Amino acid sequence: MADGSSETKSSNQMWGGRFASGPDAIMEEINASIGFDKKLYAQDIRGSIAHATMLAHQGIISAEDKDKIVHGLDTILSEIESGAFEFSRRLEDIHMNVEARLATLIGTAAGRLHTARSRNDQVALDFRLWVKEELQRTERALTALIGAFLDRAEEHAETVMPGFTHLQTAQPVTFGHHCMAYVEMFGRDRSRVRHAIEHMDESPIGAAALAGTGFPIDRHMTAKALGFREPTRNSIDTVSDRDFALEFLSIASIAATHLSRLAEEIVIWSTPQFGFIRLSDAFSTGSSIMPQKKNPDAAELVRAKTGRINGSLIALLTVMKGLPLAYSKDMQEDKEQVFDAAESLELAVAAMTGMVRDMTIRADRMKAAAGSGYSTATDLADWLVREAGLPFRDAHHVTGRAVALAEQKGCDLAALSLAELQAINPAITDKVFDVLTVEASVASRTSFGGTAPAEVRRQIAWWRARN
Ligand code: ARG
């Protein structure tokens, strides 16, 4: 905390005209955002260059002042990037830190940069630019994760594993099919990202404090220079809303939920009891006391990051829910939530991509588990419907008796003799054994979106054409 020296108490150089003294040290501490919004330095400088260029083009400032401003801002950019820039908490935020330095570098021309704008549209611009770039990074990261799954799915289009409901063995599926389920989830996450980019692709600069400006600015020009599709249409909305940040956090929360379910499966699959996969050394850790252990820490941390990301969404929703239009300082609390969630999501997606690429699939273990737990019982029931003309409910009952018998004998369905099966229902022939293996079971599920290897390959091809 700063002391109460006369320097701290001197009135602010940006608005000091109306103030006799500067802020209390506590006021300065609660008010300052430079500690985190310095992350927006590149966007702030880019925005100011576009604004100054437009002001000169419109004849609002001179070309000479514009040149000085642009040159000064370029200098500041390299100062920040080289670590030479001294950020000051007294100057509150990134916008005023940059502007104050510009004044030191170029003198009075710096004071013309803030013509026809306010920190309200400035911060809306900087933050939107940052979130847009983050969404683009997220899109690329998800594409890499989807690519990793497509490769594993292709390799294992025929590898059988148990499919589960209630985490109880349900029906055999292929590992490729299971991988493609995640491709669908992350594919939807990515399309949500693309839609969000479209929603937020409007430039806030020129909305000024909230009402627009009387200066003859050209908002289409700045929008274009900054890579936005068009300017925002309502100046009040422009400085009031943070739904682009909320949209990012919602998308991040949903993606994190998908990642967390996958992480949970990886944790389960890598136990000695399941033994479906082996994680690479690169994505696991050992134990300091138990030499035999290999722990799925990366998966566990991916699962845990979901908590932070969901927390950020709820935090910002709560900040925004009671705010009257237009800008309120509450909105300064938007950035840390988004920065933290973005960092967590990037790390989680990257770690998961690495785990998926590197893990060893233990096809023998998957196959053994796929055949246990009477996983082909539905195939027997379907066979009775198809070949013996039984209504499905009766076939279900007959199969239930066959399962009970197998359970009593401690064997699989396929290990029951024809005589034993015929004692339950005389319509059964030895052809039934063709459907009782796990391979026959998965091969038969050729319905659109089903688990048959041919169908999984069709799904993979569909995604390859789009990834
Ligand atoms: N640091 C502020 C924020 O992040 C910038 C906008 C300040 N605007 C104002 N009218 N005080 O929201």
The residue contributing the CA closest to ligand 1 atom 3 is 332
Q: Is 124 touching ligand 1 by the criterion CB < 6 Å?
A: no
Q: Is 270 touching ligand 1 by the criterion CB < 6 Å?
A: no
**129-174 pLDDT, tens per residue?**
999 999 999 999 999 999 999 999 999 999 999 999 999 999 999 9
**292-336 pLDDT, tens per residue?**
777 899 999 999 999 999 999 999 999 999 999 999 999 999 999
Q: Is 120 touching ligand 1 by the criterion CB < 6 Å?
A: yes
Q: What is the mean pLDDT of residues 67-92?
A: 98
To the nearest whole percent, how much of the chain has pLDDT over 90? 86
Atom of ligand 1 nearest to the CA of 127: 4
pLDDT at site 76: 98
Q: Is 327 touching ligand 1 by the criterion CB < 6 Å?
A: yes
The residue contributing the CA closest to ligand 1 atom 2 is 332
Compute the distance between CA of residue 72 and CA of residue 102 in angstroms, rounded to an integer: 6
Query: Parallel, antiparallel, or unpaired: how do β-strands 277-278 and 360-361 relate?
Result: antiparallel
pLDDT over 50 (residue 4): no
Residue whose C-alpha is closest to residue 154's, from 188, 187, 177 = 177
Q: Which residues are catalytic?
A: 166, 287
Q: Supply the mean pLDDT for the chain.
A: 94
pLDDT at site 9: 52
C-alpha 114 – ligand 1 centre gap (Å):
14
Model confidence, pTM: 0.92
Angle at 213 between CA 209 and CA 217, to 5 degrees: 120
C-alpha 126 – ligand 1 centre gap (Å):
11
Q: Is 240 touching ligand 1 by the criterion CB < 6 Å?
A: no
Report residue 280: phi and psi, to 5°: -70, 160
Compute the distance between CA of residue 452 and CA of residue 467 in angstroms, rounded to an integer: 22
Tell me which of 93, 316, 339 to substitute to probe ligand 1's pocket, judged by most ligand atoms within 8 Å of the beta carbon.
93
